[in-house]
Amino acid sequence: MSSPQQSTSELKRAKGSPTKDFFVRMITRDITLVDCILDLLDNAIDGARRSIKRQGSALSGSGLAGYRANLTVGNERFVVDDNCGGISLTDAVEYAFHFGRRKDAPHDVDHSIGLYGIGMKRAIFKIGRKARIESRPPKESFAVEVDVAAWEQSDDDWDFDLSPLEGNEEIGTRIVINDLYPQIANSFADPTFVNELIRTMARDYAFVIDKGFSMSVNGTEVPRYEYRLKEGEDVTPAVVEYTDDGVNVRIVAGLMKELDADIPDELRLADTEAFGWYVVCNDRVVLAGDKSDLTVWGQQGFNVWHPQYRGFAGFVFFESDDPKKLPWTTTKREVDVSEPLYLRALARMKDVTSQFTAYTNQRKADPVEAKKAELAATSVSIASDLKTPRSMKLPKVEGKIPGEETVTVAYQRPRGQVKEIAESLGNFNMSAREVGIRTFEYYRKMELGKS
Amino acid sequence: MTASPSFQRVDYSLRTNKHIERRLVFDHLRRLQPTFPLSAYRYLGLGSMWFIDFAMAHRALGIENMWSIERPEGAGRAEFNKPYSCIEVKPGSVSSVLKAMRAEDWAKPTVAWLDYDGRFDEEVREDCERYLKRAKVGSVIALTVNAHRNSYRPGQGLEKVNSIKTLRDLIGDAVPADAASANADVSFDDFSGVLSKSILNFMSGAVRRSGRETEDLPDRFVPLFQLHHEDNAPMITIGGMVASWRQLTLLETIFETDATRLMAGEAAVKDSLDLIPITMKEKLALDRLLPCSPETLAQQIVEMGIKLEPEEAEKYRRLYTHFPVFAQTMI
């Protein structure tokens, strides 16, 4: 507000700096709780990589063995505890508590997944009102107490106080968040949320866990999930690799699971979840089992995802020493579809996908033989076995001599009655379609004596 | 599972363990009184023709507003057999009755015991979800379902589907992450425990996902029952209360524990009821020794020549106050 006493020269600048509560609300609004937690794990993984780089060892094979991050989530508090090198006092004073990555921040870790210098603060603001960060780097341990309400009181002072920490505990970082927001505490107390978190961690850090990094939630070890594709005499996944603007791009796509002989009417989500495209940036899965136009599906005239494709999986890996070059957004849960680097990759992803979708049409001529060939192939690991470029190979389907013309029989019956017959046929999960076929065949056999 | 000798098999109509389970459930509910005025609640159940749980809810809890859901074809007979005038027989399925409930029906806190014979399937899942989403805070749910592993393994022979996969397809992340590895199934004996835990997790998740709140704070699910009983088929009864934050503090006082432990299931009555039937003569002989320590009982039954296995006698010692007496009469 201007006052009569103010001179015009004092009015030349309009205030543009945000209030802290507005800032806190905005940065926490568009990210899910799970993704906030993954941000903290990203920091731990970067810490491990930094620590390895400091020790001068190369990152390969089980390069992250021995490093771990343990989460404890509950109704009262959230804790993430790692042994990944800690934050050095200099980094803390100059960079780690700064909002946003400073231009002069040192580039001290290759293949980093920490992007914007916002993850830790955003996670704290999202989860609770009070936090304590204890960092124990090789020297000069310190602690930071964050009281969000007190910090929000002053709009001018954005800094946090550091205090020295004694003791000889293990090198690493420990973040404890207390005074949780009610909805957050509600989620943490719910075992289904905890299981969802474990499943998401297993899926999104599969390539990090594969390198030896271990994670746990409330004492449960996050399982090692190995993505595999089929390879054999008639089946080979496509592997394409190139460098684009300093980013190494690797595309691997093929058959994850044999296709169905026919497509069941009722498709369960759980069964189709694994199929589709995966986008992986510096070993971190950003999109998993995508069936939307964020990847190829329905993109500018390309086929939309169809249940006929279940069994297909494609992975595109972007790797760069400079994470800003990778096509992800701040939440690391979306890709920037306007990024030219990503658009160029999409064109190649479409090439391999269309080979596969064409095959799913061809195989209709003889699905039984095609399935035999698919089943004969074994599964190989994407992380370790599919490194060298190769073309996609899929079973050759020779059309059989056309048989008798077929018609489709469709009718509706009460769900309970169909379930009753399914149960009587020995499989209560049998699809309605299968029940229809079996009862038709039964009639032919019993009344007409034909099989 | 090994077949038990015929004298250990149960006269199905009497169902000793089911009876003990009912007693445990209603005893546990009585602990909530008078903090929670259960006598002013509605009892919602599947009374069949016998209404045994209704009689207990009326006598033990003083509930006078009772709905019994019955298949339309049995509703007339149920109407004739209902023991009290305060019982209203609602013809239809649980699903159709819940769907037809109006806002004023949901406004009354309820104790619902959905006592099914069959397995936990899509329909039961939806009934639970609907109830947990709409029931007035302070309402209680108990759910009884079949817990035989084969009921969750569709297919035949080698084609049989893993029971954990069936559960994951049904309730996803409610199934503990470490329940079983991708290819191995959980063992027969462990299945009912995994099923109980999974359904309780599911209930807790259903309350959270509904986004329901009281005074701007999220409502919580507090497990109250985690029982397993076996008269013929293995069955589980699980459930709990949808509690507002104020009610959560009341439950903390009743059960003398904190909210975290309450939500983790510390207040749930837990037991596995698989007592064999014992004769009246054996019962009277055992009763004369009770109460006493497990060691004393073990020693005394030998001395008195009671030919019961020590573990069976011990089960009886633990639950004898709830053990039913069935008698045949001429009327």
pLDDT of amino acid A426: 80
Nearest residue of A to residue B262, measured between CA atoms: A189
B171 in Cβ contact with B198 (< 8 Å): yes
Q: Is the pLDDT assigned to residue A88 strictly greater than 90?
A: no
Q: Is the pLDDT assigned to residue A100 strictly greater than 60?
A: yes
| CA B55 vs CA B79, B82, B86, B321: distances in Å | 15, 10, 11, 19
- Cross-chain CB nearest to B260 (options A74, A271, A430): A74
The CA distance from A209 to A219, in Å, is 16
Which position has the higher pLDDT, A6 or B95? Answer: B95
Confidence grade of residue A271 (pLDDT, cut at 50, 70, 90): low
Q: Is the pLDDT assigned to residue A173 strictly greater than 50?
A: yes
Q: Is the pLDDT assigned to residue A383 strictly greater than 90?
A: no
Find where tokens 């543009």 sit: A16
Out of A141-155, A221-235, A248-262, A347-361, which region has the weakest mean confidence (pLDDT)?
A248-262
Which chain B residues contact residue A270 at CB under 8 A?
168-169, 172
Q: How many Cβ atoms from other residues are within 10 Å of residue A175's Cβ?
A: 23
Give the H or E element holding residue B94: helix B94-100
Give the H or E element holding residue B123: helix B122-134
pLDDT of amino acid A265: 40
The CA distance from A397 to B15, in Å, is 60
Confidence grade of residue B180 (pLDDT, cut at 50, 70, 90): low
A78 in Cβ contact with A84 (< 8 Å): no
Closest CA–CA distance from residue A220 to any residue of chain B (Å): 8
Nearest residue of A to residue B197, measured between CA atoms: A191
Which position has the higher pLDDT, B146 or A432? Answer: B146
Measured at the CA of A104, the angle between CA A101 and CA A110, to 5 degrees, comes to 70
State ipTM.
Answer: 0.81
Which position has the higher pLDDT, B161 or B50? Answer: B50
User: Residue A165 contacts by C-beta under 8 Å, 6 or more apart in sequence?
Assistant: A134, A135, A136, A141, A142, A143
Q: Is the pLDDT assigned to residue A267 strictly greater than 50?
A: no
Confidence grade of residue A101 (pLDDT, cut at 50, 70, 90): low
Nearest residue of A to residue B223, measured between CA atoms: A190
B243: three-class secondary structure by DSSP? strand
pLDDT of amino acid B9: 52
Q: Is the pLDDT assigned to residue B156 strictly greater than 70?
A: no
Q: What is the pLDDT of residues A409-421, one digit of tens each?
A: 888 999 888 988 9
User: Residue A316 contacts by C-beta under 8 Å, 6 or more apart in sequence?
Assistant: A249, A250, A251, A277, A278, A279, A280, A345, A349
Angle between helices B310-319 and B280-287 (to 10 degrees): 70
Nearest residue of A to residue B176, measured between CA atoms: A195
pLDDT of amino acid B268: 97
Nearest partner of B204 among A19, A361, A185, judged by Cα: A185
Q: What are the residue ranges of helices labelled H in B145-227?
A: 163-171, 188-209
pLDDT of amino acid B188: 84
- Mean pLDDT, rounded, for A91-108: 69
Nearest partner of B18 among B195, B166, B229, judged by Cα: B229
Contact between chains at B178 and A193 (C-beta distance less than 8 A): no
The CA distance from A91 to B148, in Å, is 58
Do the bridges between strand A220-221 and strand A214-217 make them parallel or antiparallel, or are there none, so unpaired?
antiparallel
Tokens representing B109 are 């806190």
Q: Best of A178, A192, A197, A271 to disrupt the B interface by mutation (most B CBs within 10 Å)? A: A192
Whether the CB of A193 is below 8 Å from some CB of chain B: the reply is yes
Q: Give B175: exposed, middle or buried? Use CB within 10 Å, 0-12, 13-18, 19+.
A: buried
Tokens representing B92 are 């239809």
Contact between chains at A427 and B155 (C-beta distance less than 8 A): yes
The CA distance from B174 to B189, in Å, is 20
Select the highest-mean-pLDDT range: A50-54, A137-141, B105-109.
B105-109
Angle between helices B163-171 and B122-134 (to 10 degrees): 40
Residue A45 pairs with which residues in a beta bridge?
Answer: none
Which chain A residues contact residue B205 at CB under 8 A?
190-193
Q: Best of B153, B158, B164, B173 to disrupt the A interface by mutation (most A CBs within 10 Å)? A: B173
Out of A316-325, A366-375, B277-286, which region has the weakest mean confidence (pLDDT)?
A366-375
Q: Is the pLDDT assigned to residue A272 strictly greater than 80?
A: no
Give the H or E element holding residue B286: helix B280-287
Which chain B residues contact residue A430 at CB under 8 A?
154
User: Residue A244 contacts by C-beta under 8 Å, 6 or more apart in sequence?
Assistant: A341, A344, A345
Measured at the CA of A62, the angle between CA A313 and CA A254, to 5 degrees, comes to 15
pLDDT of amino acid A266: 42
Report the percentage of chain A scoring pLDDT > 70.
Answer: 86
Q: What is the pLDDT of residues A207-223, one digit of tens each?
A: 999 999 999 999 999 98
Confidence grade of residue A93 (pLDDT, cut at 50, 70, 90): confident
- Cross-chain CB nearest to A268 (options B169, B204, B259): B169
Confidence grade of residue B10 (pLDDT, cut at 50, 70, 90): very low
Confidence grade of residue A11 (pLDDT, cut at 50, 70, 90): low
Q: Is the pLDDT assigned to residue B254 strictly greater than 70?
A: yes
Q: Is the pLDDT assigned to residue A32 strictly greater than 70?
A: yes
The CA distance from A184 to A76, in Å, is 10
- Mean pLDDT, rounded, for A319-345: 89
Q: Is the pLDDT assigned to residue A9 strictly greater than 80?
A: no
Nearest partner of A84 among A231, A263, A265, A208, judged by Cα: A208
- Mean pLDDT, rounded, for B38-67: 96
The CA distance from A281 to A327, in Å, is 8
Report the percentage of chain A scoring pLDDT > 90.
Answer: 44
Contact between chains at B173 and A196 (C-beta distance less than 8 A): yes
Whether the CB of A219 is below 8 Å from some CB of chain B: the reply is no
The CA distance from B186 to B150, in Å, is 11
User: Residue A379 contacts by C-beta under 8 Å, 6 or more apart in sequence?
Assistant: A228, A229, A230, A231
Q: Is the pLDDT assigned to residue B195 strictly greater than 90?
A: yes
Q: Is the pLDDT assigned to residue A85 strictly greater than 60?
A: yes
Q: What is the pLDDT of residues B90-128, one digit of tens each?
A: 999 999 999 999 999 999 999 999 999 899 999 999 999
Contact between chains at A75 and B263 (C-beta distance less than 8 A): yes
pLDDT of amino acid A225: 83
B139 in Cβ contact with B111 (< 8 Å): yes
User: What would the 3-class secondary structure string for chain A be?
Assistant: CCCCCCCHHHHCCCCCCCCHHHHHHHHHHCCCHHHHHHHHHHHHHHHHHHHHHHHCCCCCCCCCCCCEEEEEECCCCEEEEECCCCCCHHHHHHHHCCCCCCCCCCCCCCCCCCCCCCHHHHHHHHHEEEEEEEEECCCCCEEEEEEHHHHHHCCCCCCCCEEECCCCCCCEEEEEEEEECHHHHHHHCCHHHHHHHHHHHHHHCHHHHCCCCEEEECCEECCCCCCEEEECCCCECEEEEEEECCEEEEEEEEECCCCCCCCCCCCCHHHHCCCEEEEEECCEEEEEEECCCCCCCCHHHCCCCCHHHCCEEEEEEEECCCHHHCCECCCCCCECCCCHHHHHHHHHHHHHHHHHHHHHHHHHHCHHHHHHHHHHCEEEECCCCCCCCECCECCCCCCCCCCCCCCCCCCCCCHHHHHHHHHHCCCCCCCHHHHHHHHHHHHHHHHHCCC
DSSP label at residue B107: T
Whether the CB of A32 is below 8 Å from some CB of chain B: the reply is no
| CA A265 vs CA A218, A412, A423: distances in Å | 39, 13, 18
For all residues of chain B together, what is the average pLDDT? 91
Confidence grade of residue A268 (pLDDT, cut at 50, 70, 90): very low
Q: What is the pLDDT of residues B47-57, one digit of tens each?
A: 999 999 999 99
pLDDT of amino acid A5: 54
Q: How many Cβ atoms from other residues are within 10 Å of residue A386's Cβ?
A: 23
Which position has the higher pLDDT, A59 or B162? Answer: B162
- Mean pLDDT, rounded, for A82-101: 80
Q: Is the pLDDT assigned to residue B13 strictly greater than 60?
A: no
For residue B291, say if its preceding peptide bond is cis, omega within 30 degrees of 0: yes
Which position has the higher pLDDT, A307 or A263? Answer: A307
pLDDT of amino acid A183: 93
For all residues of chain A together, what is the average pLDDT? 85
Which chain B residues contact residue A429 at CB under 8 A?
154-155, 161, 166
Whether the CB of A428 is below 8 Å from some CB of chain B: the reply is yes
Select the highest-mean-pLDDT range: A12-26, A153-167, A313-327, B149-163.
A313-327
- Mean pLDDT, rounded, for B151-162: 76
pLDDT of amino acid A362: 86
Confidence grade of residue B83 (pLDDT, cut at 50, 70, 90): very high
Q: Is the pLDDT assigned to residue A110 strictly greater than 80?
A: no
